[in-house]
C-alpha cells in the first residue's frame, strides 16, 4: 500500500518524547483558519510556487519532457530561482518503515522514536497502520485532530505508544466556524482515548481571540478534567506558506497574551 508524505523532519525535539523523526502525511478534513501547514491540506501531491519572488519570466510554463512534471503542467527544474517544487511524495509502506528504521540508533540514544503528523494522519489510516506494523521496536507517536470515524480512531491509536490530540475549541458552533467541522466526533474520540490506557496529551493551540479566550479555555478545561494538557503558543509565522499554495491567510499575526495556566488542572505551556 502507498501513502503520500509531504515532509519528513529529522531530529525534532518538540513532537513527542525524546528525539524524534516526524513524518507529515498529506491531507486534512479540517480547515483551521490558523493552520500553519497549508501545503498539507490537500490529500494529493501539488505544486508549490513562491509567487512573491517570481518574475513571470514564463520559463516553467513552456512545457518539458520530465515525467514528474507532467501532472502539474509546469516544469519544476527550469526556474533560475528554484521557486517551483512538488509537495507530496508517494511511499510504499515498507519503504517508509525502512527509512524510519535508519534512525534506530538516534532513537535509542535520545529515548525517542517516530511521530506521525500532518495534515491529519488518520486520513491515511490504513497506510499508517501498515507502516507501524513494520516498526515493532520503535516508539510510535501520533499527532491528531481526533477528527475521524470512531472505528478508525480506535483501531489506529491502538498502534501507538503515545497520542497527542488537539482539542481546539469547546463550543460546537464556534468549532465549525473556525475549523470547518463540528467537534462532536472529536469529543467522543477523546473519551475513548482517555479510557484507553494509552499515554496521551491534549494540545490546545493558543490562537489570539479565537481559542485563547478565557471562555474557551475554561470550556476545554471542563472537557479534559485532569488530563495532561499542552498549550501551544501561537506561531506568528503561520501565514508564511499560504501564497505558495495559492491561498490567503485570513488572520492577523498579533502576539497572543499569556494564558492563565491555573484554568487547567495539569497544563504546560510550550513556546
Ligand atoms: S521560472 Fe521561476 S521566475 Fe520564471 S515564471 Fe516560473 S516560477 Fe516564475
Ligand atoms: S487540523 Fe491541523 S493540519 Fe488540519 S487544518 Fe487544522 S491545523 Fe491544519
Clarify whether residues 149 and 57 are in a common domain. no
Is the distance from the beta carbon of residue 123 to the nearest atom of ligand 2 less than 6 Å? no
Range from 183-187, 234-238, 259-263 carrying the lowest mean pLDDT: 234-238
pTM of the shown model = 0.95
Q: Does ligand 2 lie within 6 Å of residue 119's CB atom?
A: yes
Question: What's the pLDDT at 261?
Answer: 84
Same domain, 25 and 102: yes
Phi, psi of 229, deg, nearest 5? -130, 140
Residue 165 lies in a domain: yes
**Ligand closest to the CA atom of residue 211:** 2
Residue 55 Cβ contacting ligand 1 at under 6 Å: yes
Same domain as 136, residue 204: yes
Q: Which three cell numbers mark 46?
A: 501539488
3-class DSSP state for residue 79? coil
Give the C-alpha separation, 52 to 162, whole Å: 40
Task: Confirm or reject: Cβ of 49 under 6 Å from ligand 1.
Answer: yes
Residue 135 and residue 14 share a domain: yes
* Tens of pLDDT, residues 195-242: 999 999 999 999 999 999 999 999 999 999 999 999 999 887 778 889
What is the distance between the alpha carbons of residues 114 and 140, in angstroms, rounded to a whole number? Answer: 5
Q: Which of 15, 29, 35 maximizes ligand 2 atoms within 8 Å of its Cβ, making it the mutation to test the pocket? A: 35
Burial status of residue 38 (CB atoms within 10 A of its CB: 0-12, 13-18, 19 or more): buried
Residue-range definition of the domain harbouring residue 79: 49-86
Amino acid at each position: 500500500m502507498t501513502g503520500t508524505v509531504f515532509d519528513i523532519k529529522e531530529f525534532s525535539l518538540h513532537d513527542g518524547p525524546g528525539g524524534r523523526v516526524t513524518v507529515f502525511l498529506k491531507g486534512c478534513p479540517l480547515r483551521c483558519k490558523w493552520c500553519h501547514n497549508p501545503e498539507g491540506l490537500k490529500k494529493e501531491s501539488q505544486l508549490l510556487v513562491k509567487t512573491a519572488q517570481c518574475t513571470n519570466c514564463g520559463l516553467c510554463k513552456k512545457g518539458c519532457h520530465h515525467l514528474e512534471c507532467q501532472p502539474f503542467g509546469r516544469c519544476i527544474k527550469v526556474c533560475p530561482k528554484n521557486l517551483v517544487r512538488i509537495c507530496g511524495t508517494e511511499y510504499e509502506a515498507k519503504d517508509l518503515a525502512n527509512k524510519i528504521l535508519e534512525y534506530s540508533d538516534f532513537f535509542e540514544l535520545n529515548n525517542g522514536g517516530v511521530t506521525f503528523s500532518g495534515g491529519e494522519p488518520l486520513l491515511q489510516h490504513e497506510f499508517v497502520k501498515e507502516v507501524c506494523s513494520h516498526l515493532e521496536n520503535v516508539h510510535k507517536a501520533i499527532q491528531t485532530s481526533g477528527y475521524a470515524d470512531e472505528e478508525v480512531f480506535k483501531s489506529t491509536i491502538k498502534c501507538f505508544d503515545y497520542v497527542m490530540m488537539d482539542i481546539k475549541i469547546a463550543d460546537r458552533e464556534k468549532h465549525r466556524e473556525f475549523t470547518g467541522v463540528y467537534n462532536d466526533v472529536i469529543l467522543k474520540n477523546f473519551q475513548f482515548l482517555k479510557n484507553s490506557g494509552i499515554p496521551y496529551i491534549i494540545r490546545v493551540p493558543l490562537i489570539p481571540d479565537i481559542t485563547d479566550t478565557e471562555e474557551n479555555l475554561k470550556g476545554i478545561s471542563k472537557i479534559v478534567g485532569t488530563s495532561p494538557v499542552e498549550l501551544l503558543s501561537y506561531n506568528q509565522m503561520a501565514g508564511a506558506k499560504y501564497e505558495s499554495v495559492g491561498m490567503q491567510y485570513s488572520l492577523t499575526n498579533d502576539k497572543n497574551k499569556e494564558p492563565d495556566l491555573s484554568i487547567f488542572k495539569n497544563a504546560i505551556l510550550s513556546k
